[in-house]
Amino acid sequence: MADTTEARRGRGKWDATRLPDQTGRTVVITGANSGIGYAAARALARAGAHVVFAVRDLARGGAAAARAGGSTEVRRLDLADLDSVREFAAGWDRPLDVLINNAGVMMLPEGRTAQGFETQFGTNHLGHFALTGLLLPQVTDRVVTVSSGAHRWGDGVIHFEDVNLRGGYRPTRAYAQSKLANLLFTLELQRRLTEAGSPVRALAAHPGWAATNLQSRTANPFARAFLTVGNRFLAQDDTAGALPTLYAATQDLPGAAYVGPDGPAGLRGAPALAGRSAAASDPVAARRLWTLSEELTGVEWGLTAAAR
């Protein structure tokens, strides 16, 4: 159950030691084998939750789950392949308290998913859009989607006429678009849940600057060098980077809330409600993105979120 008593009393900054008891709860975390996904999975498992590691590599996922301790299981999921998403969802047959859409790729060279979508948009947004839609009938509490302060980068819009960026691909542009899509998805999902009278909440979080293996995979060697130095001297570790996700997953927050570090520029600090760009708060763009995402994934959302 959510518990914000200590936070209300102001007794210091919120951290994982204040995580409420999660016994009896089931949580699915995508990309839980490393980085902030692993840190969140470990904390939730140690707090008593049954945590499902939804990962591409079962061997790596199994090793991570063993390290995490607690009640865990590992299931294969490749968000860059909608067939894998459907297979994962078809195999899910029990209530799910929390779905954490954590997995992501960052500033990669131009590429395509199994269905031909730009890799970052296809993985970070479309894969999670489809997964959430297919699992929603089993979700009982909330959906938490991990975004990024990078949603403000560049032109800061969804390129509706060219979401695959065939007319001008840049790794940072593609990453920013995918992270903006995460926030617009959360906004529209909450609107629809409210309209349907559902008790389920949609929330988003960002880790600030957390040192993970994402930065080592960027396309530009100069960006990799900068991020490597930043990871060493500016970033917080993945345990601290997971705190906004944990806060969003366990605390009594309003639907569509966005959580991030409370320090300067939101780069580090304790979890707190965060600001977002005007583009990330645009309900018209959110609905337009939803419609487009249904068309691209073939997942239509109704009360049963059935796939056509």
Q: Which residues contact 182 (CB under 8 A, 6 or more apart)?
A: 101, 124, 125, 128, 145, 146, 147, 148, 151, 204
9 within domain boundaries = no
pLDDT of residue 237: 84
- State pTM to two decimals: 0.89
Give domain status of residue 15, yes or no: no
Q: Is residue 244 part of a domain?
A: yes
- Catalytic site positions: 175
Give the model's pLDDT for residue 236: 85
Mean pLDDT by 10 residues, the chain (308 residues): 40 84 98 96 98 98 97 98 98 98 96 98 98 98 97 92 96 96 98 97 92 53 52 70 97 98 87 96 98 96 48
Q: What CATH number has the domain bearing residue 70?
A: 3.40.50.720
Domain annotation covers residue 252: yes
What is the pLDDT at residue 265? 81
pLDDT score at 3: 44
User: pLDDT at position 264, please?
Assistant: 80
pLDDT of residue 5: 39
Burial pattern 119-153, b for ≥16 Cβ within 10 A else e, equals bbbbbbbbbbbbbbbbbbebbebbbbbbbbbbbbb
Q: In whole angstroms, what is the distance from residue 259 CA to residue 247 CA?
A: 8
- Sheet arrangement for strand 71-76: 71-76, 50-55, 26-30, 96-101, 139-146, 201-205, 258-261, 271-273
What one-character DSSP code corresponds to residue 150? G
> In total, how many domains does the chain have?
1
Q: Is residue 12 part of a domain?
A: no
Domain range spanning residue 205?
21-297
Judge whether 162 lies within some domain.
yes
305 part of a folded domain: no
174, 165 Cβ separation under 8 angstroms: yes
152 part of a folded domain:
yes
Q: How far is C-alpha 202 from the geometric centre of its chain's CA atoms?
A: 11
pLDDT score of 16: 85
**What pLDDT score was predicted for residue 212?**
57
